[in-house]
Structure 1
Amino acid sequence: MAISEATIDSMISNLDMPKSMLETLKDDAIKVGVTKKELEDIIEKLKENYEYACVEPCEAVGVVSAQSIGEPGTQMTMRTFHYAGVAEINVTLGLPRLIEIVDARKQPSTPMMTIALEEEWANDRDKARHLAWEIEATHIEHLADITTDLANMHLIIDLHEKTLKYRSLTPDEVADKLRDEMDVMVTVSGDIANQVIVTPNAPSYRELLQLAKNIHNITLKGIEGIKRVVIRKEGDEYTLYTEGSQLKNVLQIEGVDVTRTYTNNIGEIYEVFGIEAARNAIITEANSTLAEQGLTVDVRHIMLVSDIMCCDGEVKQIGRHGISGEKASVFARAAFEVTVNHLLDAGMRGDLDKLNGVTENIIVGQPIKLGTGDVHLISR
């Protein structure tokens, strides 16, 4: 028999836990309708997990986290490319990927996206394929053979009929796109099917060569930066995997499930969804990178690193251009990199080091203010 709200209140009132945790426990207990015995078991398990999660006062959590992530990092492979379970798409894993994450690189070396689809598209391969062509960047080399006609001073583009049909394009659409992007004369040949002729504004050999070079950079369809899209069936639904990442643009396409679409580009997640999402992405990416190598690191260490990187409202690297370079202590900054510059600059400014941290106290040979070093004995 489910217990009353008053009984729940009396059972949890003496627990030494955060108020938010107790409120969640109470709400869930009422919603599910647990018995007294079940609630006692839940409370016992909760106390056990909470006590395990607590940190001793004056514990050097930063040092422990650095050690806990750094030591497994020495066992990680240095090879850069691996298959990420998707044929044809390579992704950086191992130590190079972990370095990318903590360095807060604006652009990862192998950006990729996992695009979940809404029900109507996820269960229909043809619709999923059509959506893939809407996302994948289509360039002229995918569709045609280009010939430079020096006698008449123009480019002849012979479009492949089968590819045009496959990618849902027409010669007129290709011509319109080229005309808009390049501001040159573009005509669809009336004599030969699927032939487009591009003429430079000035009848110059140099202009013609430049035109032949520039025409390859134009995206005729899809999203610039998405080099390839692979369709894969997972369970009952189709999922798209992309080489390249453009999160903001992809989320605007009809048929894409915004709630389940993911990118390994943490910078894009920060720009689109904000700092909390970026923090979660750092934790997820670091965890999955370590797990892929068969390494297990307690998530609290990774969470601490992620919190430090994101605590100012933007994603900062752990390095001299980020966290380490912004420490209040002169000695702590100097101990990391470019020692002489930090000391000279601090001397010219007349900076004062209060010796509160670990690094600076070790440098000057004092006990650090952590653990037993933080306790002061006073005799009377």
Structure 2
Amino acid sequence: MMSDIFKKYENVLPESILERVKELVPAKITADKLKRVLDAVVEEYEQAKVDPGECVGLVGAESIGEPGTQMTLNTFHFAGVSEMNVTTGLPRLIEILDARKAIKSPMMEVYLKEKVSAADVKVFAEKIKETLFKEYIDTIDIDVLESKMTIQLDKRKMQTVNVTQEFLMKTLSKSKLLKGSFSIKKAGDAIEIKSTSKDEALKEIYRLKERIKTVYVNGIKGVSQVLPVKRGDEYVIMTAGTNLRAVLKLPEVDATRTTSNDLYEVAEVLGIEAMREQAIREILKVLEAQGIDIDIRHVLLVTDAMTMSGSLQGISRYGIVKDKPSVLARASFETPIRHFFNAAMTGESDPLKSVIENVM
């Protein structure tokens, strides 16, 4: 009986709304009450529709732009972690809407499949953090007479991430820096590197002293800082730097919830639809952090316009504006002389079909 009533509304209401009504109405509801509920839903749905000819772009621009002028120029700093700043406020909103490839604070939120203790999440966080050789160095001593360098290792750091002296020696041996005129050997708990070059041996050792600190040892490249944060009854690992593809390959990571704020990386790894969803989340996150309440439909319209071509395009003269068919519409945004010159050179005409060019 109920299924017959719902069938009558299939061409009137979207499937998602009908499914939601099915979830919410009681199982023992009468046919008459169900019809009244569905009629009320239809009325609300029709009122929610945009009127034909409504300037949705203009309304959306006003709705986002007006409160945007009240936003602060914030850079949020994570306490206790050096060099881990998160760009928020107006600068972050501009980054998203301009579709900038080089963002100031690339970061990820890494969720784990299982709930773990604070100690375990800290160990995992250290595991994914990109570690350079300088982090395992305690002291470096240079013997001027023998042109050799002795590296005392930080045993506590090695124990934390389960790295051995042999592994570090192997890593250095594979490095391009030591190929050729250097020999490496174990000296007790230290590593000894000696120059085998006859000319300028000491100069090479001093040059190597600084370069050796930047040798990649382990972890995920691009993840420079990690910070476990408790949310509810689980931990989320905030990272400075992103490498979404590598992180999602880890068996401990929940790939359905882990995100990156680098939209181009999300598009490359998960596709344009996932990137659109992430752009919506990032915009709403910025606005909500500033206490600004905007109807999500304005944000949906903006992200649809930015991704409708199948790739991310910013709201700028290099993005969606350059693809407008009207030369007057393109000229109204920025650099009008260049647009008029190019249109004149190619004999382009303007049919004057939209609001902007007719107002001009």
- TM-score when normalising by structure 1: 0.84
Structure 2 residue aligned with 1:172:
166
Alignment counterpart, residue 13 of structure 2, candidates 14, 17, 21: 17
Displacement, 1:95? 0.4
- 1:98 correspondence with 2:93: yes
Structure 2 residue aligned with 1:368:
none
- 1:54 correspondence with 2:49: yes
Displacement, 1:105? 1.4
Displacement, 1:216? 2.4
Cα distance in 1 between the residues matched to 2:294 and 2:196: 62
The answer on whether the counterparts of 1:128 and 1:238 sit within 8 Å (CA) in structure 2 is yes
Alignment counterpart, residue 349 of structure 1, candidates 334, 346, 349: 346
- 1:72 correspondence with 2:67: yes
SS in 2 for 1:189: strand
Pair 1:294–1:22, CA change in 2 (3 A): closer
Structure 1 residue aligned with 2:76:
82
Identity of counterpart residues, as a percentage?
33
Pair 1:246–1:341, CA change in 2 (3 A): same
Alignment counterpart, residue 358 of structure 1, candidates 351, 355, 359: 355
Cα distance in 1 between the residues matched to 2:183 and 2:120: 32
Structure 1 residue aligned with 2:131:
138
Structure 2 residue aligned with 1:287:
284
Displacement, 1:252? 1.1
The answer on whether the counterparts of 2:306 and 2:313 sit within 8 Å (CA) in structure 1 is yes
SS in 1 for 2:99: coil
Displacement, 1:311? 0.4
Cα distance in 1 between the residues matched to 2:48 and 2:275: 23
- 1:322 correspondence with 2:316: no
Pair 1:161–1:21, CA change in 2 (3 A): closer
The C-alpha deviation readout for 1:208-256, integer Å capped at 9, x for no partner, is 3442333222221101211111122333222211111111111112211
Paired AA for residue 33 in structure 1: A
Paired AA for residue 8 in structure 1: F
Displacement, 1:114? 1.1
Displacement, 1:21? 4.0
SS in 2 for 1:129: helix
The answer on whether the counterparts of 1:186 and 1:196 sit within 8 Å (CA) in structure 2 is no
Matches within 5 A, 1:1-380: 3-10=1-8, 12=9, 16-18=12-14, 20-21=15-16, 24=19, 28=23, 33=27, 35-36=29-30, 39-40=34-35, 42-44=37-39, 46-79=41-74, 81-83=75-77, 88=81, 89-119=84-114, 122-144=115-137, 145-182=139-176, 183-184=178-179, 185=182, 187-190=184-187, 192-193=188-189, 195-199=190-194, 202-203=197-198, 204=200, 205-363=202-360
Cα distance in 2 between the residues matched to 1:156 and 1:38: 84
Paired AA for residue 120 in structure 2: K
The alignment yields a C-alpha RMSD, in angstroms, of 2.4
Displacement, 1:130? 2.3
Cα distance in 1 between the residues matched to 2:164 and 2:279: 43
Paired AA for residue 230 in structure 2: K
- TM-score when normalising by structure 2: 0.89
The answer on whether the counterparts of 1:200 and 1:211 sit within 8 Å (CA) in structure 2 is no
Cα distance in 2 between the residues matched to 1:135 and 1:361: 56
Displacement, 1:272? 0.9
Unaligned residue ranges in structure 1 (runs of 5+):
364-380
Pair 1:232–1:188, CA change in 2 (3 A): farther
The C-alpha deviation readout for 1:125-165, integer Å capped at 9, x for no partner, is 33322211220111122111334444333332211111111
Cα distance in 2 between the residues matched to 1:329 and 1:256: 48
Displacement, 1:78? 1.9
SS in 2 for 1:260: coil
